[in-house]
Amino acid sequence: MKMGINGAAIATAIAQGISVILCLFYIKNKAKILIPNKKHFENDKILYKELISQGLSMALMSSIVSLGSVVLQSSINNLGFLTIAGHSAARKLFGLSIIPFFALGTALSTFVSQNRGAEKGDRIVKAVKYANIIGITWSLFVFIVLMFTAKFFIHIISGSEESVILNNGSKYLRLSAPFYIVLAVLINLRFALQGLGEKIIPLISSFIELLGKVLFVIFIIPHFDYTGVILCEPIIWCFMTIQLVYSFYKIHIF
């Protein structure tokens, strides 16, 4: 509607508001088990303690990840506005392509926590295995698609014909796409560990990410410029995944 940034903000708020209303209607008609009643407001200190500790752990993890992103962004900002434009377009497509990872991870977390309560550790291990297979399959599909269409999608998202934007954006996608396999396993294991009630292990993973980004900003990116920016997260994903694989399979579930 030609409203610029204001239009983007208004559209977001309206979309979220409509989503809330639709969810409430759905709950009322199809999922009444989610509607609380008087007994659900009774004091349960053990439950409150668990929810608060788990929530604080997840909040701290997200904060650490966000801090790492700010540190990395400071280096990107020094590479010029054309590089920033290409990177921004590539990150939008990256975010879109990994949505299935987080959807799968959320489902896995719920499944793991349910089977933890039912003391069915074998089903937890199988669920993680199958989630990884699904995630890796999706990663390979995205990788193949991006190898041939990266520049086209950058052009569509950015609306630009500038070669620097198209080349840098497509370079980001093509270099990072092979590492989506690692990212899929990383996300699955992180959500599975959260479903098991683990609070410290995901935090350690976040600290690895923050430390890795700081080291890249100081030592790697000044020498390799945008290529260093592109490889920063994929290489860190590898170290994070090693830590999570070790931690998950070290845990004696039952």
- pLDDT in 10s for each residue of the chain, 254 residues: 999 999 999 999 999 999 999 999 999 999 999 999 988 888 889 989 988 988 998 899 999 999 999 999 999 999 999 999 999 999 999 999 999 999 999 999 999 999 999 999 999 999 999 999 999 999 999 999 999 999 999 999 999 999 999 999 999 999 999 999 999 999 999 999 999 999 899 999 999 999 999 999 999 999 999 999 999 999 999 999 999 999 998 886 65
HEC readout, 74-139:
HHHHHHCHHHHHHHHHHHHHHHHHCHHHHHHHHHHHHHHHHHHHCCCHHHHHHHHHHHHHHHHHHH
Token duo for residue 174 = 């093509």
Spatial separation of the C-alpha atoms in residues 237 and 220, rounded to whole Å: 16
Residue 203 in contact with residue 64, Cβ under 8 Å? Answer: yes
Contact 127, 112 (CB under 8 A): yes
| H/E element, 187 | helix 180-195
Where do we find the tokens 């929810």? 51
Q: What is the pTM of this model?
A: 0.88
Q: What angle do CA 227, 229, 230 make, to 5 degrees?
A: 65
